[in-house]
Each structure stands twice: as structure tokens, then as C-alpha cells.
Chain A
Amino acid sequence: MKATKLIFPKWINTAIRLALVGAALTAGAIVVLGKFLTMPETIDVGYQPTQPVPYSHKLHAGEMGMDCRFCHSTVDKADFAAVPPAQTCMICHTAIKKDSEKLAPIRQAFADPSKPVQWTKVHKLPDFVYFSHKVHVNGGVSCVSCHGRVDQMEVVQQQKPLGMAWCLDCHKAPENALRPKEFVTKLDWTPPPGTTQQEIGMKIKNENKIHPPVENCAGCHR
């Protein structure tokens, strides 16, 4: 009897090929999935934490039409758009709904500076990014460009990805976002009839020589 050599059956060739293809597909899927899962659009958009006080932007900024800067008063003066101190809330709420249970943390903070309200940050940039509200707002970029229609939000959520690619889209073509400075906080502003956003944006861009950093790393990273 001839000694049987250990020979792999023929189907093994197919199996190996299939396995290789399968591995490649799996690897590809992992990469694609990984990329998708870690995209700011996936992990950051829609972030909507619960806040210690159920403050409604929809009510205050939308229905009552308060200007954004009434509370976020530093937005055109500082790099940061400060969240207002309890004192700002108490301008009205000493008279209106002054006993509301929901406002208890505000009253406590106003009475005792050592117990401030701890809001949860919604729109967060990495520490190595130096974003300036002052420059954007004074340049004619509306709040709505990065924060969405906050005036329609009962609870604030992140609507834009705030990733670097997304930033650069606008930095490359700022005309798509620029508007006259006086309408920066008017979130429902649309170009007047007969004009387009591009026309208005181009005009402002050229007049004010707006060249946001695109390839200049030091524009945002330092």
C-alpha cells in the first residue's frame, strides 16, 4: 500500500481564498466602522446632557425673543462666551416665578457664592484648540453656524460636529456663513429677497479682508 501522504483536500484552496477575502472584508469593515464610530458626527452630534436647571432656550430666546448677548454677554468681548452668573437670572426672577422649585439652585447660588450652579458643558473643543468667539462674532459669523437653532431647543444639544474638517469647510469658504454683524444673534435671519448668502458673504469677506486660517496651524493651535 502506497503510503498516503497528508495532502490537503482541494476545497482547501477555495476555503483559504474565501478566508482571505473574508479577513480583508472584516478588516475593512473594522476600519470603516472604526472611522464611523469615532467621527465627531457620530460621537458628538446629538449630545444633550441634562442640566441642573431646566432652562429653556426655546422659551427665553425663541418665544420671548431675548438676545443671546443678554446672558452670554462676553461673546463679542472675549474668546469665551461666558455662561451667565446667577445674578443675570435674578434680574427677572426676583419678580417672575420667584418661588419656582426649578429655580432653587439659582437662588441658592445668588445667595451663597460658594455654591454656584454647575452647568454641564455641551459644546466642547479639545484643549489644543484655541477658538475665539470674539473674532467670529465680530467678523459676522452667526451663533447659528456652530450652535444651530438654539432658540428652538427646549434642552440644548450639539448639532454640529465641531471637528477640524468641519471647521475648515467654513474657513475655506467663509462667504457661506458671513452676515452683517447686526444680525449675528438673529438666528432665523435669511438674506433679504433678491440677494443670496454668497453675495452678501463675499461682500463682507472682501470689505473686511476676512481670510480665516486654513493652512496656518498657529491660527488655532499653539
Chain B
Amino acid sequence: MKPTEQKTEQQYWRSLDQLAGTPEYRQFVEREFPVGASEMASEVDRRKFLILAAAGIGLAGLTACRRPIEKIIPAGGKVAEQLVPGVAQQYATIYNLGGQAQGVLVRSNDGRPTKVEGNPAHPASLGATSSYAQASILDLYDPDRSKSVKQGKDNKNWDDFVKAATPLMAELKGKQGEGLRFLAEANSSPALRELRNHIATTMPNAKWHTYDAVSQDNALAGANLAFGQPVHVHYAFDKADVVLALDADFLGSDIDSTINIKNFSKKRRTGTDIEAKDSGHGSTPHGEEKKDEHKAEASQAQHAVPAQHAAEPAKAESGKEGPKGTPTPAPEPVSNKMNRLYAVESNFTVTGGMADHRLRLQSSKIGGFLAALAKEMGVTAGGLDKHAGAINGNQLAGKWIKAVAKDLNANKGRAVVVVGARQPAHVHALAALINASVAGETVKYTRAFEDKFESNLASIKGLVDDANAGKVNTLLILGGNPVYNAPADLKFREALGKVQNRIHLGLYQDETAAECNWHVNEAHYLECWGDGRAYDGTASIQQPLIAPLHNGKSALELLAVLSGYAQTSDYEIVKTLWLKSLGGEKAWNKAVHDGLLANTAFAAVTPAVNAGAIGSALDAAPVAGNGLEINFVQDASMYDGRFANNGWMQEVPDPMTKLVWDNAVLISKDTADAKGLKNEDMVKLTLKGRELLLPVWILPGHAKDSITVALGYGRTVTGRVGNGFNEKFGKLMDTISFGNTIGGNTYLLRTSDAMDFALGVELAKTGEAHKIAATHDHWSMEGRPLVREATLDDFIKTPEFAKAPDAGLHMISAFEHPYDFKQGNQWGMAIDLNTCVGCNACVVACQSENNIPIVGKDHVLRGREMHWIRMDRYFTNVPATEFEVGGAKPWVFDEDYMQAVQQPMTCQQCEHAPCEEVCPVAATVHNEEGLNTMAYNRCVGTRYCSNNCPFKVRRFNYLNWHKDMSETEKMMQNPEVTVRMRGVMEKCTYCTQRISAAKHQAKVEGHRAIRDGEITPACAQVCPADAIVFGNINDPASHVSKLRKQARNYQLLVELNINPRTTYLAKLRNTNKELEA
């Protein structure tokens, strides 16, 4: 679409280049494969390659005649009876992140953990997980993990360490622990608490410090302020009809996001809660009837597209007979229940993308917004006027405050205000005050893990001050990487240098390990016993699946040995502790089996809000000034930097920016234009005299006069992945301009007085450019209407709106396949765009289940990424000018009204698959269950199929990505899925291995039918929103069939007559009339 063309319909686009139709964009999408994708990567040119290949074949030809000898090695010794070799087992355990335990079930194939899944019984999982938990298994097998104890640069072993540490600890014990300090990350483990108590009694002068770069400090401080005690806030999004999110990415980076998404999605299944009327058996939603039905609708509803202005047309469809005489199913009764989400934020987050209305506002002004809102709502507290003044003059915000206040007040008891972890304590406290009047059941409080609140910041500051004062003799750093991520002004590295004995326990030999005298390699969570608490307090047991691969030790073992605790093995410590409260072996076994202890969640508390304290805090808090603002945010992939050496996380595109292997200065289009910046321009950031180089990336819809930088990049001491180097393919990143790091270390700008955001940052263009790999233009859909959305009102008026945009042309396939798709199991999938937030968990889960390799930044730039699920993020904005039906005013790009739609795009399993028709060797063919199958061993790599795929979901192995895999990485591969080699095409299989397994099981169990829900592909299993549903579409009672009968259900590219088996449920936005532009 050229900018000169005037469009009247709402436009959906993935990148600003696409919107503007720049020549670079056209050239990129018009090529058969992206520039460089088909070319050799290394200095070996084609000719030389052929010479080498010919020689290679000559030699290989001879050796290939010999039969490879394979050994079968059954276990020696005594064998556990219940284990059946070759049959995978699942074990419950927990994954700890940010001090919170998420229950997981981990699959073990003959003793090797291979896949993390959610634990349906665990309250912090309910069957789903975050993408972090999915990727955590890669850390277990990471060949760059710390493999030994180190003293300085020398390899030592555990016994050496114990020998060296024992006299030191004895001496410290003699001094009551004077000079002994511990620095750990947030941890809710009761066993660790027990050891801390033990240390506190035996060495009362020792001190425990806690530091996390990404913490809950503000929320806890806010609760402390509002209630006089630190409490955990739990939002019951399944009960909230109106949600106001203030800089709160509760569906994305929030500590509890898995559960938040789960609950939030329950209020978004609009049109589903009413059981479909059985519209007869002829209505199986595929095949010929469907086609005709679409044709009929299409002719009526050509202009009824994107919904924002879809008015009356295409109603009155019910009872209409299709040309073949099959009754078109009558539209189902539509439920109009749906929550409404308002988001006010600086960065464009996935929560903002899900919002029904989104206001972009500097993070520093959000306190002002809330104060003004409180005033409007009639909440009284001191200091409101002062803060509300900060947004004076912002007309749009003024309009918002009126509308949102009205909506919140009208929904008392069913409304909630959520404040993000980056907002200061007084904003949290003010939200608590507002919630006290509007929340009702939507907010619950429980006690926090710690009874007394001490902020992370105060804790590490205290440590640094004492170290500088020479009061610290021995420091034990238990996990974490403070040298890298402590606030820059504390100069942690220098302070650490003043400590005599520095001991570090960690998974990696990282920046902190490099500064310590001793490093102890830590056991991965799948290698050791432990425990933890979910955010709601539920006690959970961490059970290892494998003995430590590199003889690592857990924090529990290290502390127990050093402090002389009664037990020294982590198993004994955890078991002894829990047996006390459990009472018996049987209960303990059950707890280990379940992964949790039932009914141990903290009881809800109802603390009284102290309005006076909040008022005086507001009075004391300074009002935000003006100027360019910088925001430090947790990265969707790196978290706080701990995933730097995790290739899956480096390569999964950021949910909003679609950047991989990099961070950037995120900036709005208007601010960038005002400063003369464009994408990939290198800029120098200056904040309080500290400087950092970073490239620019324009994120349309970002707040004006504000920039966002992600934490967690620019690691200097990490593994091969994190250093951007890979032996297999040489440098993963030739285009690096940071030296030897991936991205820029934004911790260098982050100081203790501005941990979250700060005003007064300066941006100066250096004149250089940094090549950024962003995947949003890869596999472009060329503006075809793949996402459909409507407002709730329009949906109620025109329930079938999503089916409308059909060009009406139906191609007739020249190929007939021999199968009757009305027989037997016919697999299909439905994906609900109204609940999908784009959290990426499915992308990583798919990668883990299907042995999908990573390729590195340079190859991503060439368009060679291998993910089977592409999370398409479309930007759009509601028209800035009123759209009247028929009154066609031009649609214009307006950053004030930006929205996003996330669409997981994977093989659609077309019944008339275009890929199959062009494969010269029949390597991709259909089966009788409607799957578009891939026989890898037949594929010769012509790539015709990928070229003919209308959804661009096929992935080609340009290189042998699995070459030279380390022995530990080999252990991680799913044995049920072929590891593909070079020259082979691959794509989503609907997890055909899981289908086979279920079919085999059904046959063994008396040749029964497969039950609905028995097969769950990895993506559907992990989805926190339950947006992906898989099943038999031939069974009218199956979940997927019911979804396919819904009014919101639509197929992509109907006009091609390809009849995809995957269908989508259109997105809805529950708009507030008063805020429509």
C-alpha cells in the first residue's frame, strides 16, 4: 500500500516499512527467498563446494558400504521395576523465577528430561507455563554451563572447596558470624528459610542480603505504605469486568502472568459460553458445503471488512439455504459478556496490545494520571491535586480520566486498577486506595513471603556500604549476577574487591564468578531437591529428574555444609523439614508426586487501607517534571540477563518489536521523527553522566518524549551463545558493533535512584548504524486480511462478520485426493485471537518438543529462522476521525490510537494443500486424517512447497544446524521426532508424534476410539490463554468442533479453496463509546 493511496478501511500492518510501502520492503517480500537465504554462508563458494562435495562422495561411497554397528546396552545391576525402557514418564517439580515457584511436569525419556510442561494441579501453572520455564531445559544441557569448582582460574573439585572453606567457617563461627554476608536472589523456599534460621542462631552477626535486578520492591513497598504490612496483591481477572492497567504488563512481564492470562482469557471467550444448538449432522465444518456457504456470504458482504465500521450488512443469514441444499447453520446466539481493558503505558507491551483502549503516556506521568483519576472518582487523599497537575494540558488523558472514572464507578465490585511493578510505591498505594472502593472480589491480598519488608535496593546498598567500610570479610553469593546487574552507581565490582573471601555459586561462570576467589558450579533445578512457594503461598516440592551432570551443588547443600546443618544432602534437608508438618512418609510421597502440598496457600487477608499514610506519601513524593524519559524494562526474552546463553530465548522474537539477538532504544515514530532518527541509527544515550551506545528501533505507539531500553543484554562473561560466537557457523553475528556482546548493557545507565525510569536522558546520533534482526517482515502476508476484528457492538449486530471478507473467487483444485474426510478422525485446530496475548510460550514449547534448532542473528537476517510457529504481530490503529457508515473518510496512521493483534501462524494443514501439488518427489502428501505430512527422508530440497505456501510457514534447513551438537545437547532431543538434516523442508506437524502415541495407546487399550482432549500438541498444552484447541473435527461433541461452529470462527484465504484445518476465532474489542475518537 502506497502512502498516496487513500484507504478508508482500517489497515493492519507489521512494520512501518510495510505501511509506507518502501522500496526496500517491496524488494524484500517480492523475492522468492530473502536476499542471502539461498547463498552459502561461508567463504566457500559454490564451485569450491561442488569440488569438495564430489571428493567427499567418492570417499564416503566406500565407507558407506559397511553396516554401522549399533549396541544395545541394557542396565546392569538392580533395576527399578516400574520403569519401562522407551516409555516416557512425567515428574512434577517446580521452576523458580523471581522468587516464585511455578509447578511443572517434566517429561523424562529413559532418564533424560526432555520437555517442560505445566502442572495442571499447581496454582501458579494450571497446566500452562511461561516461555522462561519452557526454555529452562536448554540451560540444563547447555555445554557452556559451569562444569567445575574453580579457585581463581584453576579447576578444583567440591572436596577441595570444602577443605578450604571449613577452617574459614570455623573462624567465622567463633566470631558469631561477624563479617560473614550472604547475597541471594529472592527465594520463597521454606527449606532455605530453615537454613537461614539455623545460620541466624549459630552465627547471629552474619547478615543476609537479597538482590534481584527485576524485583517486586515497588509493589511491596506500596502495600507496606497502604496497609502497614507487605502483602501480595492477587488480581482475580476472571471476576473483573473493567480493568485499568497502569504501566502494568500483567499479561506479559508480570511475575504472575501465566495465571493472569489464564484468568483474563476467561472473560474473553465471548460468544462461546452458550452451547451451540445442534444444527444437524450435515454441518461438519469442512468440505463442499462450507465453500458454498462462504461464497454466499461473500457476495453479500464484500464491504463488511474490518469490522470497526461494519454496520448492518450481512445480517439475516439464518435459514438461508446453500446452493447445494444443505442448510447453513443458523448463527448461534451470541453472548455479549466480555471484560474491558484500559491500558495506560509508555512502552507498547502485550497488555497494551490486548487492551480495548490504550493511552500512551510517559511512565513518569502515570502517577499523575492515577491521581487525576482518583479525584474524578471521588477518592480523597492528600497530594492528589499536586500530582494530578502533571497531566494538565493533555486533552486525551483528560478525556480518558472522565470516561474511565465513570466506567470504574459504574462497575463497582467488578472493576480493578492494576499498577505495574515499575511504578513507585505511592502509585501502588493510591491504586490500593481506589481498589478499596471499586474492587470487591477482583482483588485479594495474602501475606508476602517475608514478614518484614526490606527493599532489594536497601539490602544491596547496605552490603556495598559495609564492604566499602571493610566490615565484610566473607561474602557468599548464592546465584545471581550482581557484578553485572547491580545499580551502576553502587560500583558493586569495586566494593566486592574489598571483600577478602568471595564465594560464588552459579550455573555459569559469569561476570560475578570472574571477580570471586571461589566459584562453585550450581546444580540446575532439574538436578537437585528443593522447595518453594507459588505466588499465592502454595508450598511446592522441587524434585530432580537427573543426577547433576557436572556434580553441581544446590544452594541448600552449600549452605548446609558451610553452616554445619544437621543434614547435608538437599534431599534430606527438604524431606526432614516437610516430614515435620506432613506427618508421614505417605504424605511426603504424595507431595513429591503432586509437586505441591494441597491447601497450603496463604489465607486471604483483608488489611485496612491507611488513607492518611497514602496521602502523606503522595504529598512527599515529587511531581514528575518534563523532558525525555528513559524506561528500564525487564526483557521478554532475557528476563534480567540470565538467559543470555540460552539460544531459544535469544532467537524468539520479542512479542512486540519482533527483535531477536538484540536490544534497542525503543522510541515512538513522532519522537524519532522530531529527533531525525530512523531504525538502526546508533545513538549515544547519556544519563547523569553515564553513557551507552545503542541502536534505535521505532515502536509505533510508544509514548511521546520517552524511550524504553530492555535490561539483560550486553553480557561480557557468558557462554558461546551469549558472546555471539558459535563454532559451527563461525560468528553468529558478523554485524555486531558492540565488541563481543549481544546488545548493549543498559545496567550501565541504571542507578539506584532511577531503577525503573528517569527523566533527562540525552540522545545523540553517532552517525553509525547497527544492523538489527527483526522478523516482522519475514514471511510477509502482503496485506491479505488474515486478522479479523470487530468491536463488541458490531459483533453483536453482525456475529458472522469474520467470515465476510472473502474475495468470492474460488479456485478449483486440479488435484483430487483419495480420502473421504468425513470418515474417522479428522484433525483440526482452532485458535482464538481474542484470548491470545502473544506471550511466545507456544513458540518456545514447539521448539522444545520438535527439536527445532536456532540459527543465529546473521542467519535470521537472511530469513533462515526455523520456528514452526510464527507469532505475527499486526499493528493497527483505530481511525482518528469518526468513521461513519458509508461516510468514507481516509484512514490515517495515528500513534495515539495504536492497537496490536497477535496471530500465531503455523501450518494450516490445508485440505487442498498447495505445497503438495508442487512437490516433485511426493515428500509432502496428505493422509486420511487430514494431516499434511512431511516425509523428511524423501525431501530433496527443491523448496517449491515453501514457495507455493500461501501462509509461508514452511522452513528449510539451509545448513545442518544440528552438526557438532554437544553430547549434553543430544540428550535433550525428543526421541519421538526426527532430527532434520541439511536440505530438508520442515513445518508444523500438529505434533504428529503425539497423535501417533495416542492412537497406539487407544489400540492397545482394546482398539477404542480416541477421546477428545487426549491429544494435545505442545503449543496447546503450554498456552496460558487456552487459545489453541486441537481435536477431531468429525466429532460434533469435540471442543474444537464446537469452536468451529461459533460465529467468530473463520478460515484464512477462503478464496483459494484450500480449506485449512486450522481456523481462527476473530478478535473483539469491547470499546467504550466515550473514548472512540
Contact = CB atoms under 8 A, between A and B. Distances in A.
The answer to whether A and B assemble together is yes
- From B69, B71, B74, residue with most partner A Cβ within 10 Å: B74
Contacts of A109: 76-77
Given A77-B87, A218-B989, A222-B996, A112 B976 contact: no
Interface string A17-58: 000000000000000000000000001100101000000000
Interface stretch (A8-16, A61-69, A120-128): A120-128
B79 A218 contact: no
B992 interface: yes
Interface string B885-905: 000000000000000000000
Interface string A182-213: 00000000000000000000000000111001
Given A80-B86, A138-B1004, A222-B978, A124 B74 contact: no
A153 B978 CA distance: 34
Given A47-B67, A78-B84, A218-B931, A85 B74 contact: yes
Contacts of A114: 76
20 contacts: A43-B67, A44-B67, A74-B87, A76-B1004, A80-B85, A85-B76, A85-B77, A87-B77, A113-B77, A113-B78, A120-B71, A121-B72, A138-B1003, A208-B1007, A217-B934, A217-B938, A218-B992, A218-B996, A221-B933, A221-B978
Interface residues of A, number: 51
A222 B74 contact: no
A173 interface: no
A22 B264 CA distance: 79
Nearest to B110: A80
A112 B78 CA distance: 9
Given A219-B927, A221-B937, A134 B989 contact: no
B1056 interface: no
Interface string A94-124: 0000000000000011111111111111001
Given A213-B927, A219-B927, A78 B977 contact: no
A208 B1007 CA distance: 6
A130 interface: yes
Contact of B71 (A118, A132, A134): A118
A146 interface: no
Contacts of A216: 927-929, 933
B1004 A135 contact: yes
A135 B1003 contact: yes
B72 A119 contact: yes
A132 B67 contact: no
Main secondary structure of the interface of A (DSSP, over half): loop
B660 to A, nearest CB: 28
Given A74-B87, A82-B85, A216-B928, A128 B77 contact: no
Given A215-B927, A222-B977, A117 B74 contact: yes
B176 interface: no
A59 interface: no
Contacts of B70: 120-121, 124
A174 interface: no
B1000 A132 contact: yes
Contact of A218 (B67, B72, B927): B927
Interface in B86-101: 86-87
B935 interface: yes
Given A82-B74, A83-B72, A222-B978, A134 B993 contact: no
Interface string B263-292: 000000000000000000000000000000
Given A82-B85, A112-B77, 17 more contacts: A44-B67, A80-B86, A85-B76, A87-B77, A109-B77, A111-B77, A118-B71, A121-B72, A126-B937, A130-B976, A208-B1007, A217-B935, A218-B995, A221-B935, A222-B933, A222-B976, A222-B996
A132 B997 CA distance: 9
A139 B1003 contact: yes
A80 B73 CA distance: 13
A211 B937 CA distance: 24
B613 interface: no
A116 B74 contact: yes
A119 B74 contact: yes
B925 A217 contact: yes
A79 interface: yes
A169 B67 CA distance: 25
A163 interface: no
A116 B85 CA distance: 15
A177 interface: no
A86 interface: yes
B86 A110 contact: no
Interface residues of B, number: 40
Contacts of B989: 218, 222
Interface string A117-161: 111110010111010101100110000000000000000000000
Nearest to B71: A118
A87 B77 CA distance: 6
A128 B74 CA distance: 23
Contacts of B1007: 208-210
B812 interface: no
Nearest to B993: A222
A213 B1003 CA distance: 14
Contacts of B937: 126, 128, 221
Nearest to A207: B1007
B976 A115 contact: no
Contacts of A84: 74
A110 B993 contact: no
Contacts of A128: 936-937, 978
B732 to A, nearest CB: 28
A127 B977 CA distance: 10
Interface string B48-78: 0000000000000000000101111111111
Given A49-B69, A74-B84, A218-B996, A87 B935 contact: no
A76 B1001 CA distance: 11
B1000 A135 contact: yes
Contacts of A85: 74-77, 79
A33 to B, nearest CB: 14
Contact of B996 (A108, A118, A130): A130
B1004 A134 contact: yes
Given A221-B937, A222-B993, A77 B84 contact: yes
Nearest to A121: B70
A132 B70 CA distance: 19
B66 to A, nearest CB: 10
Contact of B76 (A76, A116, A218): A116
B71 A121 contact: yes
Contacts of B67: 43-44, 47
A221 B84 CA distance: 23
A130 B995 CA distance: 13
A218 B77 contact: no
A120 B933 CA distance: 33
B81 to A, nearest CB: 10
Contacts of A110: 76-77
Nearest to A128: B937
Nearest to B70: A121
Nearest to B1005: A138
The 8 A-B pairs with the shortest beta carbon distances in the complex, nearest first, are A113-B77, A109-B76, A216-B927, A80-B86, A78-B86, A116-B76, A218-B933, A113-B76
A126 to B, nearest CB: 7
B266 to A, nearest CB: 35
Nearest to B925: A217
A48 to B, nearest CB: 12
B73 A118 contact: yes
Given A116-B76, A218-B933, A134 B1000 contact: yes
B510 to A, nearest CB: 34
Contact of B992 (A83, A126, A222): A222
Contacts of A209: 1007
Nearest to A114: B76
- From B927, B977, B993, residue with most partner A Cβ within 10 Å: B927
Interface string B965-993: 00000000000111000000000010011
B1 to A, nearest CB: 40
